[in-house]
Structure 1
Amino acid sequence: MTSAGIATLIVRYGLVVLFFPASALDKTLNFKGAVAQAREVFPGVFGTLTILAGLFIEIVMPLGILTGTADRLAALIMAGYCAATAVLFKRFWQPGDFFKSGDSKARTLFWDFLKNLSLASGFLLITVGLAGHGLDAFLAQPFGSSHPYGG
């Protein structure tokens, strides 16, 4: 692998490490706690299904991004996942203490919300490329590879 390929791998791993292995492992080891958190938004069995879907996304999509296998589609799914989790679970507008001096749950959630949107933007760069020309390639062949390592 060339030095450019190694750099690409490092950058891609930097984007996905939060999900695979970190968040996926946390959901696995603390499954009951993850389901309890999901049930705050999705009651009953839907909370469990949400966590199982999240586990699938957090394991399979990063592997696609790292290996270059349908990486544009995997990155698009990760972008949607990040945006959805920001809106569903980082609801900074609810606590009502955003402008309170000192500690604020709302501001903490706000920074997490922005982090999720920033990650979504990073994943969209994989989907469309830095110059945006990859959008045509993605639309023409959504399950194709961007060949990130020069292959």
Structure 2
Amino acid sequence: MASLSIAIAFAVRLLLVMLFLPFSALDKILNFKGAVGQAKQAVHATAPATALILAGLFVEVVMSLGILTGIADRAAAFVLAGYCGVTALLWKQFWAPGDFWAGGRGRELFWDFWKNLALAGGFLLVTFGTGAGTVERFFADPLASSHPYRIGEPRP
């Protein structure tokens, strides 16, 4: 039963980060020029757009690995929650095209916007847990592990 518990804990975390590692990170690597072009829509200059893509790549790889391994997983999840929120606000602006009610690009971005925010909520569950008592623990030691693969009673 312990093996099943560990496998489920890992599978849940893998499903949560799978969008970023490997898929989005790999896309940024294989289509770097296109990713920079997309970032230029928000910052309008090549150097800052390149910096944004490199920062995004770092966040997607390192924070995903933190969540998967349990090393500073709560802090990593907190960073990824913020990353999802920022990307929703910068690149999923459903209100900008003005064609939401006509079923155009705005409607497509609407669902992407809310998917990003829902994913941020999932990461915040990793960060804070499901109870109010765990919030204080995070702020007391944000780099601590949640010990996701420990069998037995959770920490108080």
- The normalised TM-score by structure 2 is 0.92
Unaligned ranges ≥5, structure 1:
none
Give a deviation string over 1:90-130, Cα, whole Å, max 9, x none.
00001111111xx4110100000010000000000000001
Q: How many residues align?
A: 149
* C-alpha distance in structure 2 between counterparts of 1:41 and 1:141, whole Å: 34
Task: In structure 2, give the amino acid aligned to 1:5.
Answer: I
Q: For 1:86 and 1:10, locate their aligned partners in 2 and report how far apart those are by CA, in whole Å.
A: 25
After the TM superposition, which residues 55-70 of structure 1 pair with which residues of structure 2 at under 5 Å, given as runs? 55-70=57-72
Partner residue in 2 for 1:76: 78
- Give runs of aligned pairs for residues 1-150 of structure 1, distance below 5 A: 2-44=3-45, 45-100=47-102, 103-150=103-150
2:10 maps to a residue whose letter is L
For residues 127 and 104 of structure 1, the distance between their equivalents in structure 2, rounded to whole angstroms, comes to 36
SS of the residue corresponding to residue 130 of structure 1 reads coil
The alpha carbon displacement at 1:134 in A equals 2.1
**Residue type of the alignment partner of 1:95:** P
Question: Hey, what's the Cα distance between the residues in 2 that align with 1:40 and 1:53?
Answer: 16
Secondary structure at the aligned position of 2:142 is classed as: coil
Give the root-mean-square deviation of aligned CA atoms: 1.1
1:2–1:132: structure 2 CA closer, same or farther, 3 Å change rule? farther
Shift of 1:2: 2.8
Question: How many Å apart are 1:50 and its aligned residue?
Answer: 0.2
Q: Deviations over 1:11-62 (max 9, x none)?
A: 0100000000000000000000000000110122100000000000000000
Deviates more, 1:69-78 or 1:42-51: 42-51
Question: 2:39 corresponds to which letter in structure 1?
Answer: A
Q: Please give the secondary structure, in 1, of the residue aligned with 2:101.
A: coil
Q: What secondary structure is seen at the aligned counterpart in 1 of 2:131?
A: coil
Gaps of 5+ in 2: 152-156
